[in-house]
């Protein structure tokens, strides 16, 4: 930081870039729901979500406590002003329901929630005029997250690649920074993979199987490698969960199949979008770097975002794969101490 009264804009991004910041993320015990049996709880959830007989089916739920937020502390003899902080928090999806259990917000700051305009991500937003020397503030939330596994549908010949999609889905048919679906290599490969498939589900599964069979999984962390993307995975024939998902998503988009990235703590997987014979659309999971069948997923880690191209209002010109943790402020002294929290709690 520059001293002597200079105003310096601090931007702190979460350097873990999320997808591989934890190599294994344990699932803790379930929270009890009165005297209801597991079957009754699952049935109640299915009724509430108005689940149809088509699309991926919901399995037995897991209930998880999850804590997210931030802690800021000014150094002795150093003040910080015009502070903005942001941290991703879980939000509702068809297979995830989120309830706030406890909010720990300081009275000296304005703390709110915001959903990003791209959809698929939510943040805890912190704003404060001045953090006095030695002062510490915390803005954290404990959530109750009810998470359902997806069960692969038994009948798949009723699903089709959509000719028209809702506006919210259109963005997942286009090229993004790491999903180079407009590449001639990607497009020609996708066409070759599906050329003998008549059934649209089988076309997606052929793309899925190609990635599994031709890209060797190689576990790495964000601290040791940058995100490489679809073309790199294709050329190198190896990659981690990010790279394998990027290639699968790019191949899908090259065939006009909407597809996107899903981020959970320590991992990511893909989703693809098809419609049924009544034109109703569904997102299906695709755990490319694993052994689970396409269209089903037993992993019940907390979903932190869906999508692969975001722009924060504070840095609108920068496109990012993951929603970043952010700290901005002005100081004339030493940098403040900051800590971002993303953790699964016990029972």
- Report d(CA 231, CA 235) in Å as an integer: 6
Based on the domain organization, do 168 and 228 belong to the same domain? yes
Token pair in block for residue 168? 């919210």
Residue 5 included in any domain? no
Query: Does the residue 6 lie in any domain?
Result: no
* Overall average pLDDT of the 284-311 stretch: 93
Q: Identify the CATH number of the domain in which residue 50 sits.
A: 2.60.40
- At residue 220, the pLDDT reads 65
Other C-beta atoms lying within 10 Å of the C-beta of residue 10: 17
Q: Does 76 have pLDDT greater than 80?
A: yes
Taken as a whole, the chain contains a residue count of 347
Cα–Cα distance for residue pair 260/266, rounded to 1 Å: 17
- Torsion angle (degrees, nearest 10) of CA 53, 169, 270, 31: -60
| Range from 117-131, 218-232, 261-275, 332-346 carrying the lowest mean pLDDT | 218-232
d(CA 19, CA 182): 24
Residues 160 and 290 in one domain: yes
189 versus 324: which is more confidently predicted? 189
In a domain, 309, yes or no: no
Is the residue at 10 inside a domain?
no
Question: Given this model, what pLDDT does residue 231 score?
Answer: 93
pLDDT band at 4 (very low <50, low <70, confident <90, very high): very low
pLDDT (tens digit per residue) in 112-145: 999 999 999 999 999 999 999 999 999 999 999 9
Percent of the chain whose pLDDT exceeds 70: 83
CATH number of the domain bearing residue 268:
3.10.620.30
Instruction: Based on the fold, state whether residues 293 and 227 are members of the same structural domain.
Output: yes
139 — phi, psi (to 5°)?
-130, 100
Q: Residue 280 has what pLDDT?
A: 93
What is the CA 70 to chain-centroid distance, rounded? 19
- Whether pLDDT at 29 is above 60: no
Q: Is residue 293 located within the same domain as residue 159?
A: yes
Residue 239 scores a pLDDT above 50: yes
pLDDT given for residue 152 in this prediction: 93
283 and 338 share a domain? no
What is the C-alpha to C-alpha distance for residues 203 and 209, in angstroms, rounded to an integer? 10
The whole-number pLDDT of residue 314 equals 85
- Whole-angstrom CA distances from 14 to 17, 264, 323, 338 are 6, 15, 9, 11
**Most distant CA pair in the chain, distance:** 71
Please give the tally of structural domains in the chain: 2
- Per-residue pLDDT at 218: 84
Q: What pLDDT is recorded for position 27?
A: 36
Same domain, 198 and 121: no
Residue 340 belongs to what domain range? 38-148+316-344
For 226-235, which contacts have Cβ atoms below 8 Å and span 24 or more sequence positions?
Answer: 227/17, 227/178, 227/321, 228/178, 229/177, 229/178, 229/179, 229/180, 230/178, 230/179, 230/180, 230/181, 230/183, 230/186, 231/180, 231/183, 231/185, 231/186, 234/185, 234/186, 234/189
For residue 36, the model assigns a pLDDT of: 45
162 has a pLDDT exceeding 50: yes
Neighbouring C-beta atoms of residue 44, cutoff 10 Å: 13
Cα 3 from Cα 77, distance rounded (Å): 12
**Residues 192-223: tens digit of each pLDDT:** 999 999 999 999 999 999 999 999 988 764 44
pLDDT tens digits for range 40-71: 444 454 444 445 577 888 999 999 999 999 99
| Among 94, 183, 213, 108, residue whose Cα is nearest residue 147 | 94
Residues 119 and 205 in one domain: no
């Amino acid at each position: 930081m520059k001293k002597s009264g200079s105003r310096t804009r601090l931007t702190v991004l979460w350097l873990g870039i999320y997808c591989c910041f934890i190599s294994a993320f344990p699932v803790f015990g379930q929270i009890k729901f009165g005297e209801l049996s597991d079957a009754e709880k699952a049935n109640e959830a299915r009724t509430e979500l108005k689940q149809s007989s088509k699309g991926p089916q919901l399995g037995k739920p897991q209930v998880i406590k999850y804590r997210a937020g931030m802690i800021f502390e000014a150094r002795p003899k150093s003040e910080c002003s015009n502070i903005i902080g942001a941290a991703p928090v879980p939000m509702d999806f068809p297979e995830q329901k989120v309830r706030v259990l406890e909010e720990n917000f300081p009275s000296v700051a304005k703390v709110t929630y915001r959903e990003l305009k791209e959809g698929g991500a939510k943040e805890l937003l912190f704003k404060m005029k001045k953090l006095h020397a030695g002062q510490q503030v915390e803005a954290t939330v404990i959530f109750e997250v009810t998470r359902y596994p997806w069960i692969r549908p038994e009948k798949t010949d009723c699903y089709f690649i959509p000719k028209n999609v809702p506006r919210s889905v259109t963005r997942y048919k286009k090229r993004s920074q790491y999903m180079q679906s407009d590449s001639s290599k990607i497009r020609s490969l996708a066409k070759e993979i599906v050329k003998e498939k008549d059934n649209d589900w089988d076309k997606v599964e052929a793309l899925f199987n190609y990635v599994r069979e031709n890209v060797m999984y190689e576990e790495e962390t964000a601290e040791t490698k940058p995100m490489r993307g679809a073309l790199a995975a294709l050329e190198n024939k190896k990659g981690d969960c990010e790279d394998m998902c990027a290639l699968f998503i790019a191949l899908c988009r090259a065939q006009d199949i909407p597809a996107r990235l899903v981020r959970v703590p320590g991992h990511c997987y893909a989703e693809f979008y098809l419609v049924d014979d009544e034109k109703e659309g569904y997102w299906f999971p695709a755990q490319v770097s694993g052994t689970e069948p396409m269209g089903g997923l037993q992993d019940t880690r907390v979903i932190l975002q869906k999508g692969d191209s975001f722009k924060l209002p504070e840095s609108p010109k920068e496109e990012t794969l993951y929603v970043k943790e952010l700290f901005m402020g002005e100081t004339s002294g030493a940098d403040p101490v900051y800590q971002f929290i993303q953790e699964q709690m016990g029972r």
